[in-house]
Amino acid sequence: MQGESEQSEHSAQTERTELTQEEVRRAVASAQTVVVKVGSSSLTQPSGHLDVDKLGALVGAIAQVCMLGGNIVLVSSGAIAAGFGPLGFDSRPTDVATQQATASVGQGLLMAQYEMAFGQYGIRVGQLLITAEDTMRPQQYRNARRTMAKLLELGVVPIVNENDALASNEIRFGDNDRLSALIANMVRADALVLLTDVDALYTAPPSEPGSHKITFVPNITAMLDDIRVGGSESGVGTGGMVTKLEAARMAAVSGIPTVLTAAPNAGPALMGDEVGTAFAPVKQRGSARRLWIKFAAHPRGVLVADSGAANAVRGGRASLLAAGVVEARGDFAAGDPVWIDDENGNHLARGLAGYDSEEIPNMLGRNTSQLRRLLGEEYAHPLVHRDNLVLL
């Protein structure tokens, strides 16, 4: 799978890891399209009510970028947090049904405030409520991508949130950090800004003695073991530093520079000032299809590779051929995402199946010539083509 083009890509990836902090922040400042994610705790008061002053300050920072010609997609939490106060709850409800009802009320309140705040700058907004399934299924993914592209073309700021009123605990993002990284891939963003209630990434929880701020992360995949982070303690949001680091990692390996900082620093972060923590991209941006396969696709089956095929997949050298597959599990159609596992059950890659699951058993263990002779020319192709295969 590694020819001249991939060697060139490897060289480009090596260059990416050498970006300085100044270059990363300059890339954020000059980005044409930026995804900004803000958490619930950054938009609400401790009582749970929406804080219109915090929201207005955020909108002011975003509006400045828009008026300079940039495009912003805002991924905003806050529906449940905005709703449980007006509904008379003292704290965020814990049962799913009440959370969904609260989100239904809170989302309207949240959007009304955004419409009013952006309207002061003459900027229109559009609402997109997305569930995890919308990013997993290719048709819904394409629909969401097309809608956001048209909104940006029309000068509208898309405001994206997980559809908490319909999402279940079994299949959901759980927070908007991962969603923001997926949206950054979806709209081919040039930068991602994660806004939270702490000013930067620290080597340990900031309250602990000896903890110190990290202003620049040149390679997030190489440093995750060197820090210790916790979950959300606000009682309002659902994420924490762990989910924000995962979002930054997803962005970095997708070729997208990221800044993580406190919500009051939104303006300086978007302008490239040295606030928060900057994360350098560690790879060249891949195609939209490959990024979807890697991060958003929901595998519907498994193809088990023998040792030789597993080594070839690990090395990124070849398509997955029927001759190297010993088992197919699951019910899937051609074009559906599948896991590629070794015989020990380890996930090696994700890919798009070239055939329906019921067609594959008759193909297993046969080389291309045998498939062509016994089953016909239409079966003399890889089970997963290298262009549709992404290593994990």
Could you tell me the sign of the dihedral formed by the alpha carbons of 355, 301, 146, 282, in that order?
Answer: negative
Contact partners, residue 22, CB within 8 Å, separation at least 6: none
Across the chain, how many H-helices and E-strands are there? 14, 15
Query: Is there a binding annotation on residue 91?
Result: no
| DSSP E strands, 111-247 | 125-130, 157-162, 191-196, 201-202, 213-214, 216-217
Closest CA to 202 of 233, 175, 241, 234: 241
- Is 116 annotated to bind ligand? no
Would you say 241 is a known binding-site residue? yes
| Residue 197 annotated as part of some ligand binding site | yes
225 is in an annotated binding site: no
What sign does the CA torsion over 296, 300, 304, 309 have? negative
Question: Nearest-CA neighbor of 392 among 360, 351, 358, 335?
Answer: 351
Backbone φ/ψ region at 67: left (φ over 0), alpha (ψ -120 to 50), beta: alpha
Q: Tokens for 66, please give them.
A: 């828009």
- 17 known member of a binding site: no
Cα of 46 vs its chain's centroid, Å = 28
Instruction: Please tell me whether 77 is known to bind a ligand.
Output: yes
3-state secondary structure of 240: strand
Token pair of 331 as six digits? 């019910």
DSSP assignment of 195-212: EESSSSEESS-TTSTT--
Determine if residue 176 is labeled as part of a ligand binding site: yes
For residue 238, say whether it is annotated as part of any ligand binding site: yes
One-letter amino acid of 209: P
294 is in an annotated binding site: no
98 is in an annotated binding site: no
Q: Is 287 annotated as a binding residue?
A: no
The label of the residue with tokens 């956001």 reads 148
Phi-psi region of 173 (alpha: psi -120 to 50; beta: other; left: phi over 0): alpha
CB-count burial class (<10 Å; 0-12, 13-18, 19+) for 308:
exposed
Q: Which is it for strands 337-341 and 347-352: parallel, antiparallel or unpaired?
A: antiparallel
Cβ-based burial of 57 (10 A; exposed 0-12, middle 13-18, buried ≥19): middle
Residue 164 assigned to a binding site: yes
How far apart CA 346 and CA 313 sit, in angstroms, is: 12
Show binding-site residues for ATP.
Answer: 37, 196-197, 238-244
Show binding-site residues.
Answer: 37, 77, 164, 176, 196-197, 238-244
Show binding-site residues for substrate.
Answer: 77, 164, 176
